Each structure stands twice: as C-alpha cells, then as structure tokens.
Amino acid sequence: MAVNSNRREFLGTALAGAAFLGSSWRPAAAQQETIKIGILHSLSGTMAISETTLKDVMLMLVEEQNKKGGVLGRKLEAVVVDPASNWPLFAEKARELITKDKVAACFGCWTSVSRKSVLPVFKELDNILFYPVQYEGEESERNVFYTGAAPNQQAIPAVDYLAKEEKVERWVLAGTDYVYPRTTNKILEAYLKSKGVKPDDIMINYTPFGHSDWQTIVSDIKKFGSAGKKTAVVSTINGDANVPFYKELGNQGIKATDIPVVAFSVGEEELAGIDTKPLVGHLAAWNYFESIDTPENKAFIKQWQAFTKNPKRVTNDPMEAHYIGFNMWVKAVEKAKSTDPDKVIDALPGIEAPNLTGGTSKMLPNHHITKPVFIGEIKDDGQFDVVWKTDGLVAGDAWSKELEGSRDLIGDWVDKKCGNFNVKTNKCGGGA
C-alpha cells in the first residue's frame, strides 16, 4: 500500500507542476520545432535550366539565416519539391507543401502559367508565395508578393532604350507561347503604337516551350530586318529554347550591330551553357547583373560560390529577387512576432531590405517592390556590361497604363484591401 500511496503522491505533484507551468511548458524537442519554408521550383524539364539555381540560392539563404540563429529563436527548414516544368503539378506540389509539410511560406515558380496554376491553392489555403521572376503584370493578389519586375520595370524601359539609343523603328516581339509573353507583347504593341510605330513595323511570333528548330523563324526575322529600317528583337523566349535560338542567330550571322536582341529571360545562368562569342553586343534588361560592382554584390557572389563549392557558378536577377524577398519575409515575421500567414501578409507592406546593386528595395501596398532597371550588353565571357540604368528605383505597377481595361486600376492591400481597385469608380473589382 505504501508504494501505491507514494506513486499517487508523485503523480499528484507532477500534475500540479504541469498545471503550474501551463502552456509555457513544452518538451525540449517541441521548443526546437523548425519553421518550414517551401521551395517550389522545377528541377527537371524545360525550365530546370533557369529554376534549379533558384532552389540552390534558397538553400543558401536558409543556411545563412540559421547561422544567425534562425527566426524567432527557431531554425528554418527548407522543404524542396520538383514540379518538373509541369504546370498542373505545381498546384499539387503547392498543396502538398502547405497541407502536409505545413510550410509558413513558399518561394517559387518561374513561368506565369505555373504561378497562375498555384494561385487558387495559395488563396484557398491562405499561405504566402514569393514570386521572383519578371512577369506580365495585370495581377495583385493578397497571397502573392512579386519580387521580380513588372513590365514598367523591365519591358517598357528596354523598348525606350532601343528606340532612343539604338534608333530602332521595326520591332520583332518573339516569345514562348504562354501568358507572360502574350500579355507582355500586348502591352508592348499598344505602347509602340502609342509612340507612332505602324502595325506593319511590328512582327509578333510565338513558339512552344522547348522549341528547337529556329532556322525558319530566324530567317524570317532576318528578312523582316532587311527593309531599310533599324530592327530589333524583343525576346520573351523562356527556358532551354533560348540555347538553339541564340545558336541560330550566330549560324545566320545576325550580329547585334545589325539586329540587336534584348531579352527579358536570359541572364548569366542561361548564357553559361552556350558559346557567347557570336552573341556579343546583344542585350538583356534586368534589375540586377552579376557584373555590378558593389560591396553587397561582391559579398553575395563570394558567399554563393563558397556555398556551391564552385568558383565559376554565376549569379542572376531572379536569385537577387529571392534574396530580397527572403529578407523581407524574415523582417516581416520578426515584426509580426509570428509566422502566421495573415499576420505576415499584413506586416510585409512597407518592409525594406537591401538589394545587391547598392540600394534599398521596399514592399509596396500592391505587393510589388521598388527596383532599379539596367540594360546590359552580352560580353564574350557570358557576363554583361551595363550600358544604361535608371537614375533611381522604379516602383512596380501591378496594372499596365497601356491597356484599356487596366489603366484605371491599382493594387492596394493596405488601405483599400483590394488588388484591382478602380480609381475612377472607387470600386473594388476592376469593372465599371
């Protein structure tokens, strides 16, 4: 009996102690519970050429943050999935990350079709997507933060540069056949016509993902450029199709001095896999280049090459966008004192984080950020020589002023709590 009495006494004491500690008491293992971050990038298929490096930079950023003690006293854990350049699979993998892995936020997608695929999932399950790639605009969603460029931060400045500095009068708008190139070219076509460019001086062409036979198309471009007017190609070609496209330009002897190409989806990573000598002088418009000489960028490149154990591994613009977005997320979590998506979403507008080109980017109420714009010429080593840049940072426009149904819309998730608020009708929903 004495033994049972002692056991009851011990249990009573233990239960009383647990009650005293209340909810603040947690096992040591639970106290060390990680904060999970989803990484949603194609590691196979046509987009792997561009997206694999974004997975790698996210792993580096998570590792670096953990060296600083993590966030809110907890370590971060990256959960990596491969949607394999399969757009419906992006939605499945996003749902898996949120419901099964319980991630606090996701960093991912490249193509707009992949972003459009996952969007309903993030809205339904109320999670956060940081999207790091230039895109067509025409969107401002509560659950998405757009750290890549909107058209007014890349496409429009690039066209302005070509018209003013290169005296371009004829335009080839060449893209991969999906939403980003089609919408961007719709914006650019309207913009060019507003500047007096005639319809006959605009050629538009689309090709499938992974397109490899460019001989006929490049020949058509060459013919279009032989009409006696300075001609340029504005390229929204995405993924590994860029490799044979640029090779065919070289094969047909199209030099930058004849028909310059300005690309919106070709950076250091894509050029690393091809012979760049025939491409010297062709252009790209981005908000970051590896060649930009700032202490912040030098430190980032050094850290990246040490992390990958590869002194030749290049950096690029979407990597910087993830760098900015990740640091903004960390600051917002610390500001909200929570990883709860609703609280973090409310905390993000107004958050500032250094970029790698010497400035500070800010998250705007429309969930886009401020960014500088650079035009770079391809060099024979696969790097870019910056030939033009904006005086300061440009605020990303969610809605294009060039399109009839968009020019009166703004995104404002702070005051209006609306992604498509019509400033003329003072109504949310975009319509009249």
- Decide if pLDDT at 301 tops 60: yes
Does 107 have pLDDT greater than 80? yes
Model confidence at 431, in pLDDT bands (50, 70, 90)?
A: low
CA distance 73 to 64: 14
3-state secondary structure at position 418: strand
As a whole number of angstroms, the distance between CA 389 and CA 78 comes to 35
Answer yes or no: is pLDDT of 13 > 60: no
Q: What is the pLDDT of residues 80-90, one digit of tens each?
A: 999 999 999 99
Q: What is the pLDDT of residue 382?
A: 92
User: For residue 60, what pLDDT is reported?
Assistant: 98
Name, in order, each residue with C-beta under 8 angstroms of 29's C-beta and a sequence gap of 6 or more: none
> What are 179-223's pLDDT values in tens digits?
999 999 999 999 999 999 999 999 999 999 999 999 999 999 999
Q: What is the largest CA-CA distance in the chain?
A: 108
Q: With 90 as the cut, is the pLDDT of residue 269 above it?
A: no
**Six-digit token string for 230:** 């300075």
Residue type, 233: V
**pLDDT of res. 4:** 41
What pLDDT does residue 94 have? 98
Average pLDDT score over residue span 145-153: 97
The arrangement of secondary structure in 35-149+293-371, i.e. its CATH architecture, is 3-Layer(aba) Sandwich (3.40)
What is residue 32's predicted lDDT score, i.e. its pLDDT? 63
Q: What is the pLDDT of residue 240?
A: 87
Which long-range contacts link 405-408 to residues 24+ away (Cβ below 8 Å)? 405/430, 406/137, 406/138
pLDDT mean over 86-112: 97
Global model pTM greater than 0.75: yes
CATH class of the region 153-286:
alpha beta
Residues 325, 145: contact at Cβ < 8 Å? Answer: yes
DSSP code string of 197-265: --GGGEEEEEE-TT----HHHHHHHHHHTTSSS-EEEEEE--GGGHHHHHHHHHHTT--TTTS-EEESS
pLDDT tens digits, residue range 392-419?
999 999 999 999 889 999 999 999 999 9
What is the mean pLDDT of the segment spanning 313-342?
Answer: 98
Q: Helix, strand, or coil here: 334?
A: helix
Determine contact, residues 275/246, Cβ cutoff 8 Å: no
Distance CA 346, CA 119 (A): 18
- Mean pLDDT rounded to a whole number for the chain: 92
151: closest CA among 368, 425, 383, 397?
Answer: 397
**170 has a pLDDT exceeding 90:** yes
The pLDDT score that the predictor gives to residue 205 is: 97
Lowest mean pLDDT among 3-7, 27-31, 167-171, 319-323: 3-7
% of the chain with per-residue pLDDT over 70: 92
Lookup: tokens for 94? 């996003």
Q: Say yes or no to pLDDT of 9 above 80.
A: no
| 1 has pLDDT over 60 | no
Domain boundaries, the chain: 35-149+293-371, 153-286
Please state, for a pLDDT cut of 90, what percent of the chain lies above it.
Answer: 86
User: Given this chain, do its domains 35-149+293-371 and 153-286 carry the same CATH topology?
Assistant: yes
For residue 325, pLDDT over 50 is answered with yes
Looking at the predicted structure, is the pLDDT value of residue 230 above 50? Answer: yes
Instruction: Reply yes or no on whether the pLDDT at 8 is more than 70.
Output: no
